[in-house]
Chain A
């Protein structure tokens, strides 16, 4: 598959500077624990956040972190996409015999970002070892599935919101509110947020399906918000929905694209 070959080529080129790569990855892994330390600091001041304990929030933090790390690895470089519009190099992609989204996504693959995934994995291990999860076949299967669905949701949101730059090339930073904002939102239980913010970012932009609803299922926890029970199984539907929406949005945006260059 072409994507696999392109990714391997990027990875090989990054491994050319082996020492620099190793130092970066290890340092990133260590330093990223400072990010989790922020969560612990909040629990230093309070025993519970909403209806959640520190282990439960760590579970949310870790699953959302894994999803986000995967999404960032695959599409994170879309943040640099406005440059392709600005300098006109996007036009080159239009004449090539492959989809534009495919070409833009396969431009880069920063293996170094795996450092963040490993950190999330360690936090997940810590959370699971301290939580009393009623493991059964469904829950064992749900864990990888929720991470995959979460990654798909983040990817979809990334593509959807970055499409804004086809109309307003300087508007890229607004996408951060949904991508990095989504990461921020999903590492805490959504019952702490105000109702309007929850509606916008958790249900319309389906961030609540990244960690909150699936985690309620895995942790076998009643929903403090009292929402319908079936929502905790709905993450795959949300993931497919947002990915279809983002693909349509991208097509629509590209069709309306007018090159700035001549």
Chain B
């Protein structure tokens, strides 16, 4: 536990070192918040509720989602693929800490930094401009925080898996791009799951993707109860176990040149 904590601190510091990057990112997340918000709000010109979401829930969903982008980090994470490509993964193999454990601890540290500096600012701005839906009960705020942490862990498992494609393919960006497009839709990031027809909602709910974005938001706006966290926990365990299995398979296969 002490070790994980120390690793997490390094994850935090690595991202805290670039404040200008943080502000540039916040700016972009805010612009997209307005772009996405206006489109989804236009839907409510014609009706009051879509799949349990009213206009306030929807705009809350948008700004929470914008805050979760960097925190959950679904896009553009190639750290592990690059380690495989450059051969640095060889040093991971001789370390006394398993790379999945190391990566997860590091990523949770990163997520804490991003949650505070890239998650909260866009959400506060959204809260200033719009009337949002807030959790009515104290336990919901706490459940939301736990749900976000679980979302980060599930997302880490997912990212580690598509990065591990680099063990087998020359170009890891292709599989990564495909994984990200699928995740964008099925996680409920682009359009809330509440807007989905039932058959598509069923497909999405059979995957780990909603656990990365939609579940924490649903907990926040009161569309999901505490049992949703158990589903997240389930996917967390499944994906991290898959990461270990895939890493073991990849490590048997990897050949590092030079020495």
B contact residues vs A (CB 8 Å cutoff): 18, 20-21, 23-25, 27-28, 31-32, 34-36, 38-43, 45-47, 50-51, 169-171, 174, 177-178, 181-182, 184-185, 190-191, 195-197, 200
Contacts and interface: CB of A to CB of B under 8 A. Distances in A.
B239 to A, nearest CB: 20
A226 to B, nearest CB: 18
8 contacts: A35-B181, A38-B190, A41-B200, A44-B197, A45-B43, A168-B20, A173-B24, A192-B39
A197 interface: yes
A230 interface: no
Contact of B174 (A27, A181, A197): A27
A170 B185 contact: no
Interface stretch (A16-24, A136-144, A151-159, A243-251): A16-24
* Main DSSP-derived SS at the B contact region: helix
B184 to A, nearest CB: 8
B181 A48 contact: no
Interface residues of A, number: 39
A167 to B, nearest CB: 10
A168 B20 CA distance: 8
Interface in A183-232: 184-185, 188, 192-194, 197, 201
* Main DSSP-derived SS at the A contact region: helix
Contacts of A184: 32, 35-36
Contacts of A194: 34, 38
Contact of A45 (B32, B34, B50): B50
A46 B34 contact: no
Contacts of B36: 184
A188 B181 CA distance: 19
A49 B46 CA distance: 9
A24 B171 contact: yes
Contact of B35 (A38, A42, A193): A193
Given A42-B191, A172-B21, 4 more contacts: A28-B177, A31-B181, A49-B39, A193-B35
B194 to A, nearest CB: 9
